[in-house]
Amino acid sequence: MGCDGGTIPKRHELVKGPKKVEKVDKDAELVAQWNYCTISQEILRRPIVACELGRLYNKDAVIEFLLDKSSEKALGKAASHIKSIKNVTELRLSDNPAWEGDKGNTKGDKHDDLQRARFICPVVGLEMNGRHRFCFLRCCGCVFSERALKEIKAEVCHTCGAAFQEDDVIVLNGTKEDVETLKSRMEERRLRTKLGKKAKKPKAPESVSKPGVSEESPGPSKIKTGKPEETNLDSKEKKASSAPKSAAANGSSSGKVGKPLCGATKRSIANSEESEAYKSLFTTHSSAKRSKEESAHWVTHTSYCF
């Protein structure tokens, strides 16, 4: 059953005590927060954005997250408060000139200095590696260290000159207390914008709400209701009375009562005072008439053909 062959077991091998609580390496945690995207867990690369809770993301990862309509999203809880691209702010970061990256570590035999960061504070020069508190302005996206904002107190951004308020300052990768305060600010801000949109919507007028009733259209009391026979008789009498009036008006306008407008006497060209050459053009002239001998057979005779 064991312990044969001269083996001597020790106490910790026989007696099992309570398991030790695993401690998270602080350096590894800082590297994960400040160098990797919260959604995709990939290395941060420009364009880099931050949410209203101070977490860092790759912009393309946020767009993919918003476009993904599946019910099971990877790491969806970390970005569940992001409803649209307007909820994130693109950051204006200042590069660290002392950061070399992976250029000098091509063989893999060089020590990676975790204290060295890619970005720095443009005012004080502190590196953004997690050892110092950093924040950004929601109005313009510029990133500064908290020490710079405390030492140089101003109501204008140090880089772009944009005006900001205390509500616009958001701490990057803050503590749990910082996240709770930022979350309450975020909810208040969204509630204010929602109420502002409702107030801007114009109220519909009363006439639009009641399309069936108009000011010009008469009501049911104004409409005269009568028998259909009486209405027909009235319409016939009106037509009969209007007929003689129209005839009298036509007669008075023509100047001759009882005679139509087209009743003018026909004028014969034979009795006119025109020349003989002009009269010979018409069929009523004597030269156009033929005798019976000259005329064709009755079958082929046409009064209009000569």
Mind giving me the DSSP string for 199-233? HHSPPPPHHHH-TT--SSS--TTTS----HHHHHH
Ranked by mean pLDDT, the top range of 20-29, 232-241, 264-273 is: 20-29
| 3 DSSP 8-state letter | -
- Quick one: tokens of 31? 């590297």
Q: What is the pLDDT of residues 81-126, one digit of tens each?
A: 898 999 999 999 999 988 877 666 656 666 566 667 889 999 999 9
Selection from 55, 60, 44, 61 nearest residue 78 by Cα: 55
Is it the case that residue 244 has pLDDT exceeding 60?
Answer: no
Query: Percentage of the chain surpassing pLDDT 90?
Result: 27
Mean pLDDT of 127-145: 92
Tokens 């008075």 identify what position? 252
Cα–Cα dist 24/145, whole Å: 26
Question: Dihedral, CA atoms, 30, 32, 34, 35, nearest 10 degrees?
Answer: 140
Task: Count CB atoms within 10 A of the CB of residue 134.
Answer: 27
Q: What is the pLDDT of residues 184-210, one digit of tens each?
A: 999 999 999 889 888 887 765 554 444
Tell which wins on pLDDT, 144 or 226.
144
